[in-house]
Each structure stands twice: as structure tokens, then as C-alpha cells.
Structure 1
């Protein structure tokens, strides 16, 4: 279930955002805010623009109109190059966990975790390796995983290693792209718990894209539903469950939606590794 009450300080402010690809309108006047310390989820069907919105927030795509302010910085004021000093300074304040890990196959896990430190700091190799080992432990991985290569990791380990790299620079803000996609229920439940623990320990603000209904009920403080280029509703899962909008109802109606909703009503300590649809195989 959602954790401590977030502050009312807006870490992300999006106003009148519009995005098109040719004749295809992706966003049409999107407005939303993300508050410090909250776990905020973006959901929507295929083509709803949630991935594009994430890319716009992390400076991988520029919208056609509107504004995005992150950590008090208007992204429109930043230079276009990755080497721009203000852009680099802002990037150091957030971490990103990509859906498929985004780890470099030619580097060990420890080298992958240390990469942001080598890019953004002047620390020596020994200290970087020490910090990487610490982040590995924070993500719940054993020290020996650091000398393995991404191809040697299971799905769950890959997610944890990618999260460890996202935490390398001690960010204030973390973006998670489908953090439980491709995992069996037990491993997905472990990622749920890890994300919650990291938020509570370090006061992180977390923005995630997910299709995982259990994750939404058990972890998200607020959820924004995207459809037809607009935000159709924002609120906690119980609040959204009371809304009549068809774009929102599809996340609550049907067997999966009802099962996740029922599981979400249980006290947190009653959740046992995502019992709904749990399988017997593991991806630790």
C-alpha cells in the first residue's frame, strides 16, 4: 500500500504539453504535477503517449508546445547538446531504469553501475568500484554479481542491476520504465518491496510507467491515466476506481482488474508475494 504522505512541493510540473509525430497527435494539452516523495505512475493503453512523455521528461525528446519543469528547471531553457553544463547538472539529479535494463553487454555489472560516476564525477576507479558495490547491495544483489555480465543475469537480477545503476549518483528523482515487466509474480513482488523501501529510506520521488495492476495498487500514491492525448484522471487507485470514464474503467473491470483491486484492499503485511496468478517458476 502507499507509504508516507508526500509533500506538496512539485518536483515535476507539466503544463499544456502537446506532441505530434506527423499527423498523429500524441499529447494534447497535458497538465500534471508530481510531488516530492511520492510514487507516481503513468498508465494507458498502447499509443497513449506515456512512453513519449517519459522520454520528454528525461530530455530524450522535445515536445512541440507547452512546458516541463523538473526540480525547478524549465527544460525549454536548456541547451540542445548533452554536453551543456546545465543539462549535465540536471541529469545528475535523476536516475533512470529502462524497461529492458539498458545495461551495456560488454561491461560487467559493477562497471555498468559505475558508468554514471565515471561520466559525471572525477572520482578514482577504486572509489567508484566501492560505490558500485554499495549500490549493488542496496539493490539486494550479492557482491559476486558485480563481476558478471548482463547476459548472465536472470530477469529479476537485471532489473535490480539497472536500478542500482539508476541510484549511482544518489538522485532525488528516479524514473522507472516497466519495472516488473517480464518477471514472474514472486520476482515482481520483490521489486515492489525494493522500490518502496528505497523511497522510504532515501526520500526519493519515483515516476514509473507500468501495466502491472498489482504494482499500482500496492505501491503507487497517485496514478495518471492517459488516453486520447489527454490525462483522463489522476488520483490514488481507490479514487480512480470510483470514476466513470471508460478509459479508466478498463483498469478496474474484468477478472484481472477485480483481482488486483481485491488484493490491493488487503493490509500490506497480508500480501504474500502476489498470490494472484502466482506461478511456480522463479526469476530471482
Structure 2
């Protein structure tokens, strides 16, 4: 199997910015967790507030069984990115919100402490379907856009690209205090946009010549707008734009799951 369940515990917690918390997970079985780097995603299962451990069905039919379970009892499921992986542990950066608008995962991360338990469904092969950033062989340069939710993936991508090709990147944040140091090799031009405006920034940019590969992530409507601009106005071929809506304004991940077949 390409993906398996792993029982993990919180080892450490670090406040990265007013809107971001890093949780370091560890587990005895994580030697088999083979992240592919870049924007490697996985499923994270968290216990309900009244539980000490996440209730997750195991096996190949886990998803229909999880969906059929009582929402008040089954584990909270969210999709996250591996920020960095080491022997027996890996980092996950959570975007946390104020206590009024915080969802269950954000609230959990805000209060997580060493020893807290969770379950992850992660890859056992480095080349797996949870990695989306895959520039084509003839790529001359890379374009990246995202918001706070995409920062961990963008950091992984920037580390992976290194000096192999030029990068133009734009990241939206709500507050200047959320600007962070990210891997920035020679050839990387990274612009932080406080308060939004990624579409306007890309539209106004003097982009390099040659063949691009674009990775666009963040809020769904913004992602669609940036992709539309690149394809319709910039003439970038559709198959050279990888786009992912990490979230949708006004909807939780539970809402999106409920809409899926």
C-alpha cells in the first residue's frame, strides 16, 4: 500500500507567528513514513474535544466507514502538508485563527501539548500521489503563489527547487508579523503581500521568458482567478499550471467533504 495509518504523539510545539503554530509529531512506526518532500500532503485525524484519542477506522475501506460514523464521535479529519521530516518525526505548520473563527484543527493546534495523540494517513513510498509539485522536464522557470495555508508547501517546494531553476513567488498574509524566513536560494524572487493582492501582483509582474511551470494554491476563488489569468491572459498551457484550492471562503473542510460524492 502507498499510504498507511501511523499513530503519532506531539513531541514539541512552537509558535512561528501570530497566525502559525508548528507541531512536531513523533512515533515509533514513522521509519516507514516516506514523504516525497515538496508539497507532500497527508490526512491528519484528531480526537474530539471530549476524547483522548482519535477514533479512526482502519483498512482499505476506512473512508466510507469514517463517513458513516457519528460526526460527534469519529475523528476530525483534515489535510495538511509535511513541512519537514527527520528520523522518527516530522513537522506540521498550522494556520491558527482567533478563538471566534477557529475550526477544530486550529483550536487543537493552539492548545496541543507534548504527549497529545493523533493519527495520520501518510505515504510509505516517496513517489506518491500526495505530491503535486512536479515541474515538467522542459521547465525553464517556476511561478508560485499562495497564502498562509500554503506556506508550508511553498517552503518545501523552495527547498526542493534550490538553485535548479529561477523562481518567482508571491505569498499573501493578513499581517506583517506573519512574514517568515523561507528557503531562498539564488534565483528566487519572493514577494510577501500583506493584506492580499496576489492576482494584481502577478498580473502586473514582468515575468521571465522561456517555458514556465506554475503552482497555485490557497483560497479557491483566488486560485481560480490566478489560473485563469495565467492561461487566458499569459498564454501558459493548462497542463503547466498545477492549482489547488486549500480552502474556500465561508466553508469548512467538513462542508466540502459533505458536498463530495
TM-score, normalised to structure 2's length?
0.31
Structure with higher RCO (Cα < 8 A, 6+ apart): 1
TM-score, normalised to structure 1's length?
0.29
Larger strand share, 1 or 2: 2
